[in-house]
Structure formats: C-alpha cells, structure tokens
Chains A and B, each alone.
Chain A
C-alpha cells in the first residue's frame, strides 16, 4: 500500500516535470526587436530606470564558456576560447575597436609608414609594465615578432607573418618593421600580443609551443588582467592588474566557468551562477523571460551560405545558379528560421566591413524568373515534373552538419522552394568530422552545402575565392575566375583603404553575379548578461571586449 502511494507520487512527479520542460522549452511570443544594421542594440527587460551612476571599483563576475582554452600564447593557439583569455592577459601595439578599426594600444599613435609601404614604425608608450613588474620595451616587441618568422617556428601563424622581413628596435621605445612587400593586413597583424623577452629568451623557438610553464601555467602579459589559475574542466581565474597602462580595471576578479554546452550555460545564467554568456539564438525567447538578465545583439562578422559544388555539372552554368538563388526566399528564411535576427546577404563581405559594397547584383525571390533562367539553360520539365536535360534529372543532395538545427531547417525549406520549380533536393546531415572530410579536398564529395564563414578583420578574399586554394585550401566549391584571382593577389599590396575597397568591390560584384554561393544572410550575435554589468560595449568579433571598462552596479 505504501509502495503504491510512492509510485503514484513518482508518476505525478514525472508528469509535473514534463510540464516544466514544456513550459521552459516551448514557444514564447515575446515580441523581439530586430537589431538594425551595425549599431549594437541593447534590450533590457527590467523597467527600472537605467543606472546612471559612476563606475565603481571592485566586485567580480563569472563568465560562462562552453569551450575550454588550450594555451595562452597568441602565436600558437588557434581556438577562440584561448583567444578570449589572451585578449585580457596580453596587450599588443594596436587593437581593434568596436567599429573594427585598428587603434593604438601600447603604441602611442598610428604607425609611420614609409612611402613604399614597406617600413612601419611604431612608437611605444613609456612605462607600460608586464604583470611581473618589468617594463615593456621595444626589445620585447622585437622578440615577440621574431617568433613566427623564425625557421624553427612550429605554430599555425607562419603565413600571417610571411611578409615580415625583419623587426628591429630603433631605441627603447621605437620599433621598426620591414616588410618584403607592401601588406595592408599588417595594420592588423601588428596587433599580436607582446610577450616578455626576459622570461622567454632562453627557450629555443622550436620548444616554445610546448613551453607549458609560460603558455599554460603562468602566462605573463601587459594586459588589464593577471592570470591567476586554471582548473581544466572547471574554471579559470584572472584578477585586475593594478599597473595596467590604461588604468586599473574596475573589476577585481573575473572567473570563467566552463560548462558542457550552450544549453547548460543558459541554465547557469538563469540560476545566477554565471553573469555573462554568448546566447544561442534558439534560446533568446527563454532568456528574455529572465528578469535579471539583459540581452545585447549586433551583427556578427560572418555570413551563412549555400555553396554549390562547381565540379558538379549541375551547377556549372551561371544561369542555373542565379535561378537557384531566385527560387529561394531568403527574406522568408531570415524571418521564420532566424526570427528576423539576420539581414539578407548578397555578397561574401560583411556590412560591418569597410570593404562592404552594397552595389552588387541582387537576386530577389522570383520563382518565375528562376524557371525562365533554367529553361534558357536547357532544363525542361520531364514526365514526373522534375526538370531534365540530356536525360539527366535535376536532383541533388544538400548537406549540413549534425546538431545544427538552423542549417537542417534551411535544407528542408530549400527542398520545398526548389521542389516548386521542379528540382528534387534531398537534405542530409552528417557529423562534423565526417562532414568536413566529405566536402574538403581531396574528396569534394558533395552537391550543395549549407555553411557559414566567420570573417577575419581584414577582407582579403584570397583564402576562400582564389583558384590556387582549390587543390588544398578552403575554395572547396572549386570557384575560379581570373579577375578575382588577380585582384586577390594584388589587394593586400594596396595600402590606401579607399583604393583597396574600390578594387575589392569588383570582387564582390563578380562573386554576386556568378553566385558560386547563394549568400543567405548576415546573422546577429547575441550576448546575455546580468543587469548588474555596466560599461559593456558589444564588439562584433571579440566576446569579452574592453572588460577593463566593465563595472558592477549593485543596485
């Protein structure tokens, strides 16, 4: 009898729990504001008046992260979790601001560039200190930039520094870089972390990547926060550096808390265990119901696309690719799948970039036009309604990676759109590793793929669009165009930004006209944080940007 009762309790508990889950995971019709263009928009749930107080010293916050860092050395790490930490612990000559412009950091001012663009001279601030109290001088800069150009260097940034011929200290606070050819990207490359020569000069460059006592256990930089401890799988702690050259940060301590995935982070945010997370778009409606949390959204520096494999005869005709884009309602995709949190894209460059060019051919949703173009290309409806040409059916697979529901939904919606004009599409998903294996060289074993590119600060199109990147690189759809190649080769040598933007505009025009990709949209990215965090600035690329300016409002 007693048992029966507890069984009943158990059953009712299970029922109750299911209800909770439905309530938490279900639809939420909170109106969401669509962030407009590049300007960061902040939505606050509380109706209290915005705190207007002066920044206060002190306090600590917990940042939530789902990825674990690897090591804290700019010249060797290649994951964003590590970069997030190095951004706080180290400082460079220059840094990017929230408008994606390079501005001086340890450098006093913008560099002096020689007439031929080969010699860049930076003046350093005096009295900048490393966390161990040693002054940072031109010698440290020379030491740091010599690492990636050393023949024994083993890290992943060799080609980033390929143009650097030599770097020398003119005096204690002046450093001069000599390039082998003009490099517009140098403005950004010069922002790499400066490492302390006095701690690392005795380590052979070949061993530096594995030099754990600096890279992992005790990294020392000149950034706003000092590294304190890291417990893998659990947390990482940094604390304010009193002597930071831009002034002591307001926060005393920052802790990263590592959780399994984005969903776990949302829970931790809800319970107040973490104060700041990158919010997954699928959870925004839930997050908006948390009273103690505010959301900030801005365009991410990236675009999502459908790539057409040009090695497949189906997609070799430009008219066909244009027709495919015409047949897919991207406006509808951004409105429904992304709930309006994105902007339709027409070219492979972000509106946030100075190289953005809006004046490119655009292929609006127009199924009739699509049919016409396909007919012009020789595709006629067969007996079963599916387009045919020379006995071949227009039928292909659209591939995306497992676990990404947005891309899965895009596959399905594309299947419907193209089905309406007589094209048979089979959406398919695959585990990330298998997926990469399939689409990348040497296999190129796919028809169409839904993917995204996170863009670098510099808009150089070479890595993705140059034909030399087909055999080995990231141009896995095998796009080849002589003019794009020529401009790609030349663009980095043009130091004048307006001039370079004009050249790159031609590349975007060609890529928009040719439609090797159907450019889907520029998505927003969302950060969710506790209302107490003040002084926050949303950077499209740096998750923890200017944390030294953050402060806590305890009211």
Chain B
C-alpha cells in the first residue's frame, strides 16, 4: 500500500506539470489580453504598453511560463493583474466561503439522496421508485441557475424569507444563525445537482447488491429485512458511491461557479469567473492548478477508500 501510495504521488508530478503547460498554452492562446480588456480612451498607448511591460506580458510565452513555474515552485502564485493583490491571499480569503458552501450542500445531498436511493432500489418499480426517478431526472435536467433564480424569486423576493445573496447581513455581528440563513438557498441549489446523481447511483448500486447471493443468504438466515438492507446491503452498496465522492472533489470549484455568481457568494467559483472575464492570468492559473490538484487527489482518495472498504481489492 505504501509503495502504491508513493508511486501514485510521484506520478502526480508529471501529470500536474502537463496540466499546467496545457492550461497556460490555452490561456495564452485565448483572445484578449489583460491590459486591453479595459478600453479607457483616457489611457494612452504608451501607458498601456508600460503596464504590459511591468506585468511581464511582453516576454515570449515560454519565458512567461518559466517565470510563473519558477515562482510557483517557491510557493508564490504571483499578483493579480486586475486586483493587484497576491493571488494566494485572494484564494485563501475566498476558500473558507467555498468550503462552507460545499460541505453544507454535500451533507444536504447525502442525507436526502442516499435514503431515497436505497428506498427506490428496495421498492423497485413501485410508485415511490418512479417518483424518485422522475424527480431526480428533473433535478439533473434543470440548470442550476434556473433552479436558483426560481428559489430566489419565491423565497427571497416574494416571501422575503431568505436573503437574496451574500454570506452575512451587512454590518451585523457574526452569528451562526445569520450565516445559516444566507447559506440555505445556495446550498440547496448546489445540492440539487449532486442529489439527483447521487440518488441514481445509490439506486443502481443498491440494486446490484441486493440481487447478490449473500443478501439472499442473509434473508434465508432469517435476518430482518432492515438488517439485511442497511447492514449487509448498504455497506457494499456504498462502495461505488464513496468513489464518486472522491471524484466530486474537483467539482467543488466547477459546480460553484454558477451558484456563487448567482448568490454573490464570494468564493473561489466567483473569483474564477471574474478572473476569466478579465484575463487575470495569475488567478486563472492558480485556480486551474488548484482544481487539477483536487482532481488528482480526489482520484487517489477514491482509490484508497475503495481499498479500505472493499477487502477484495489489493494493491
């Protein structure tokens, strides 16, 4: 296991390096340059040129990449072109917000979708099963921003129960209740996307499990149905689901882009989309790499969990 882990970790280096080269190349090739995104007739060509020079944007691309890489190795992700702040600080500032949102919405998704998935599987082809299936397909098919807008219109604007956006009430002292109040809508919206998928996965995984011989054996031994399903079945049924959690990790950034923008939630996703529109290279690169690390790590975690949960797997 240890050798396996080390091998996997070492393999991450060339993978991440490759990702960084490709991302940098794509970003560099994308039209639009940071210094001209802001078309201000008051700023002269000479002044703009000096800005380009100062940001190192006049260097050839490979020099820019090497400079960037050199700094990253030293732990320096550079300074944002547009916000003039260290990229590391910007990300660290926003990371807690994204994490809170993610953790909350994941918990929400899990406590709703796993029981429904299991129920749906055990009562296959029942009305409940069809109900859950239709609802999850609706959830999968409805775009996040649409669900978000709907909820905002209903709960924030019409009923006035929840805030329209932001992480806390302006000027109010810190309070957990206030935070939760702001968290609830974005977390629900974010959870809907995961929920639908998780329910489907749980259902199919459970279906596979409950048709296995050992379940039949357990039933034959006269265990109660609950024990059979939740003790014997669920444990094995969850293995593929756990893997999915590992793979969901990188979605933490991707999935949050829309929800964070919709709810003015100052997290990584919002930062990323702003940076993209402004061609803020250092920020784009840092978040892309962050996402890449999460993806690689997520895969590794999924594999490790698999081994822990399923003794049949050996390395």
Contacts and interface: CB of A to CB of B under 8 A. Distances in A.
Interface size class of B (residues with CB under 8 A): 35 or more
Contact of B41 (A6, A432, A434, A474): A474
Most-contacted residue by chain B among A78, A158, A212 (CB, 10 A): A78
Contacts of B79: 210
Interface in B135-165: 135, 138, 149-154, 156-158, 160, 163-165
Contact of A21 (B153, B166, B277): B153
Interface in A1-42: 1, 3-4, 6-7, 10, 13-14, 16-18, 20-21, 24
B47 interface: yes
Contacts of A231: 266
Contacts, number: 166
Interface of A: 1, 3-4, 6-7, 10, 13-14, 16-18, 20-21, 24, 60, 62, 68, 70-71, 78-79, 154-160, 209-210, 212, 215-216, 231-235, 237, 255, 257-261, 264, 267-268, 270-271, 273, 431-434, 436-438, 440, 453-456, 463-464, 469, 472-474
A271 B164 contact: yes
Contacts of B153: 17, 20-21, 24
Contacts of A155: 47
Contacts of B274: 68
A10 B94 CA distance: 34
Contacts of B43: 78, 156-157
Contact of B51 (A7, A156, A210): A156
Given A68-B83, A71-B84, A433-B31, 10 more contacts: A10-B138, A21-B149, A21-B150, A21-B153, A24-B157, A156-B50, A259-B264, A267-B164, A434-B30, A453-B41
B40 A154 contact: no
B271 interface: yes
Given A20-B153, A271-B164, A472 B45 contact: yes
B173 interface: no
Contacts of B150: 14, 17-18, 20-21
A233 B270 contact: yes
A159 B44 contact: yes
B261 interface: yes
Contacts of B30: 433-434
Contacts of B85: 212, 216, 232
A433 B82 contact: no
A258 B166 CA distance: 9
Most-contacted residue by chain A among B42, B50, B132, B262 (CB, 10 A): B42
A314 to B, nearest CB: 24
B224 interface: no
Contact of A273 (B32, B40, B163, B271): B163
B165 A259 contact: yes
A208 B33 CA distance: 24
Nearest to B120: A3
Given A71-B84, A234-B166, A7 B157 contact: no
Nearest to A473: B45
B46 interface: yes
Most-contacted residue by chain B among A18, A79, A158, A232 (CB, 10 A): A232
A288 B227 CA distance: 62
A143 to B, nearest CB: 21
Contacts of A257: 166, 170
Most-contacted residue by chain A among B32, B134, B262 (CB, 10 A): B32
Contacts of B166: 234, 257, 259
Interface string B58-75: 000000000000000000
Contact of A432 (B32, B50, B168): B32
A156 B127 CA distance: 67
A273 B160 CA distance: 11
Contact of B135 (A7, A160, A264, A453): A7
A433 B37 contact: yes
A62 B157 contact: no
B82 A70 contact: yes
B152 A267 contact: yes
Contacts of A271: 156-157, 160, 163-164
B264 A216 contact: no
The A contact surface, by secondary structure, is mixed
B261 A158 contact: no
A233 B156 contact: no
B258 to A, nearest CB: 10
Contacts of A235: 170
B39 interface: yes
A70 B84 contact: yes
A3 B131 contact: yes
Contacts of B270: 233, 260
B16 interface: no
Closest 3 CB pairs of A and B: A433-B32, A233-B266, A437-B31
Contacts of B156: 267, 271
Contacts of B38: 78-79
Contacts of B83: 68, 70, 232
B164 A436 contact: no
Contact of A463 (B36, B44, B151, B279): B44
A432 B30 CA distance: 12
Given A232-B90, A257-B170, A267-B164, A157 B128 contact: no
A432 B82 CA distance: 16
B93 interface: yes
A287 to B, nearest CB: 13
B54 interface: yes
Interface in B257-297: 261-264, 266-267, 270-271, 274, 277, 279
16 contacts: A17-B154, A24-B157, A68-B274, A70-B82, A154-B51, A160-B44, A261-B261, A264-B164, A264-B264, A267-B157, A271-B156, A432-B37, A433-B277, A436-B39, A463-B44, A469-B45
Given A4-B127, A62-B170, A158-B46, A463 B157 contact: no
B154 A20 contact: yes
A216 B84 contact: yes
A81 to B, nearest CB: 11
B171 A255 contact: yes
Contacts of A4: 127, 131
A264 B165 contact: yes
Interface in B163-187: 163-168, 170-171
B48 interface: yes
A209 B36 CA distance: 19
Nearest to B168: A234
Nearest to A8: B131
Given A232-B90, A232-B266, A268-B165, A7 B39 contact: no
A455 to B, nearest CB: 8
A300 to B, nearest CB: 15
A255 B168 CA distance: 14
Given A159-B46, A258-B264, A434 B170 contact: no
Nearest to A231: B266
Interface string B11-54: 00000000000000000001111001111111111111011001
B219 to A, nearest CB: 25
A473 B43 CA distance: 10
A264 B258 CA distance: 13
A271 B36 CA distance: 37
Contact of A268 (B48, B54, B94, B164): B164
Contacts of B262: 260, 264
Contacts of B128: 3
A20 B158 contact: yes
A260 B84 CA distance: 20
Contacts of A159: 44, 46-47
B157 A78 contact: no
